[in-house]
A and B are shown apart, each in its own frame.
Chain A
Amino acid sequence: MADVESLFEFVHMEIVAYFLNKPGKNVDNDVIQNLERLGFGVGQRLVERFTKDSGRFKDELEIMKYICKDFWTAVYKKQIDNLRTNHQGTYVLQDNNFQLLTQMSDGKQYTEDAPKFLAFPCGLIRGALSNLGLSCSVSADVLSMPKCKFQIVIPKS
């Protein structure tokens, strides 16, 4: 069977390129927003499908663990390397070798472009969590090239 991961990777690259080259208003932020929205829809649907056979989640932390382990494995073929939380609704997920960044140079050359490749995954996480009943905001940082951090903030009501 063909390499399925690269299929997704190539499609994702094309999607990013499409939004970047779209005619009309082309503010950088706009591109990221579009990608994020796209990821949100995908995340919602994925989670609906993936959690069909799993048991009910007890609390927030359990949902986060699910995202780090099962969800990440299903999408990116590996687990999140490090999960940290302040127990007040902020979670930091660190991936030391993020799939969508591994093909880029590990120098400083593409650091500027990296956020565009993290918008979709951010939306993916947000969509997944929203469908599990947690509305939140997700942002991403690149530390040094294939290493990145996702910060999830769940506002306390």
Chain B
Amino acid sequence: MAVCVAVIGKENYPLYLRTVSPEEELKFHYTVHTSLDVVEEKVSSLTKSSNDPRELYLGLLYPTEDYKVYGYVTNSKIKFVIVVESANTALRDNEIRTMFRKLHVAYTDMFCNPFYNPGENITSRRFEEAIQTQEIVNA
């Protein structure tokens, strides 16, 4: 299970951020924001090399002492970032991948709501529930 999930818009502003404990939210805002440079780097290096795997999942962005940060970018340039505790070694790459898939599905479902304006903060209750029930982040 992750400690933080974030959805970042096209122009690199946060659309959604959820942490396990609300007190740490600011800290994770900072962590997520720092990871955007790495995301940018990975995406541009992927598009330049010709034999790219062309996957939406970017893998581990960078590890810190306490956390590991993973990234995912959709075709519409929406970034998903998941932060996992480094101590949590039970989580495999594959599980992170499925977490991103679920997150992406939840996001597209939310996006297809006709009352949602692209670029707005995500306030959908269903999106929130999807994140909780699928145990991406459980507060």
Question: Nearest CB to that of A45 among chain B residues?
Answer: B112
Tell me, in angstroms, the Cα distance from A52 to B57 when the chains sit together: 12
Assess A57 versus B111: contact at CB under 8 Å? Given A131-B118, A133-B10: no
Assess A132 versus B111: contact at CB under 8 Å? Given A55-B56, A56-B47: no
Q: Mark A103-126, 1 if CB is under 8 A from B, else 0.
A: 000000000000000000000000
Q: Which residues of B contact A (CB under 8 A)?
A: 10, 43, 46-47, 52, 54-56, 73-77, 104-105, 108, 111-112, 114, 118
Q: Which residues of A contact B (CB under 8 A)?
A: 41, 44-45, 47-49, 51-52, 54-59, 131-133
Would you give 29 A-B contacts (Cβ < 8 Å), ordered by A?
A44-B118, A45-B111, A45-B114, A47-B76, A48-B74, A48-B76, A48-B111, A49-B111, A49-B112, A51-B74, A51-B75, A51-B76, A52-B105, A52-B108, A54-B75, A55-B54, A56-B46, A56-B47, A56-B54, A56-B55, A56-B75, A58-B47, A59-B47, A131-B118, A132-B75, A132-B76, A133-B10, A133-B76, A133-B77
Q: Give B122 Cβ to nearest chain A Cβ, in Å.
A: 13
Tell me, in angstroms, the Cα distance from A116 to B58 when the chains sit together: 43
Residues of chain B lying within 8 A (CB to CB) of residue A54: 75
Verify A41–B114 contact, CB threshold 8 A: yes
Given A52-B104, A133-B76, 15 more contacts at CB 8 Å?
A: A41-B114, A45-B114, A48-B74, A48-B76, A49-B108, A52-B74, A55-B54, A55-B55, A56-B46, A56-B47, A56-B54, A59-B47, A131-B118, A133-B10, A133-B77
Tell me, in angstroms, the Cα distance from A56 to B43 when the chains sit together: 9
Interface SS, B side:
loop
Tell me, in angstroms, the Cα distance from A49 to B105 when the chains sit together: 9
Question: Nearest CB to that of A66 among chain B residues?
Answer: B75
Residues of chain B lying within 8 A (CB to CB) of residue A59: 47
Residues of chain B lying within 8 A (CB to CB) of residue A48: 74, 76, 108, 111-112
Question: Nearest CB to that of A58 among chain B residues?
Answer: B47
Verify A58–B108 contact, CB threshold 8 A: no
Residues of chain B lying within 8 A (CB to CB) of residue A45: 111-112, 114
Residues of chain B lying within 8 A (CB to CB) of residue A41: 114
Tell me, in angstroms, the Cα distance from A131 to B52 when the chains sit together: 22
Verify A131–B76 contact, CB threshold 8 A: yes
Question: Nearest CB to that of B50 among chain A residues?
Answer: A58
Q: Give A132 Cβ to nearest chain B Cβ, in Å.
A: 6
Residues of chain A lying within 8 A (CB to CB) of residue B56: 55-56
The 8 closest A-B pairs by CB, nearest first: A55-B54, A51-B75, A131-B76, A56-B54, A48-B111, A45-B112, A133-B77, A48-B108
Residues of chain A lying within 8 A (CB to CB) of residue B55: 55-56
Residues of chain A lying within 8 A (CB to CB) of residue B43: 56
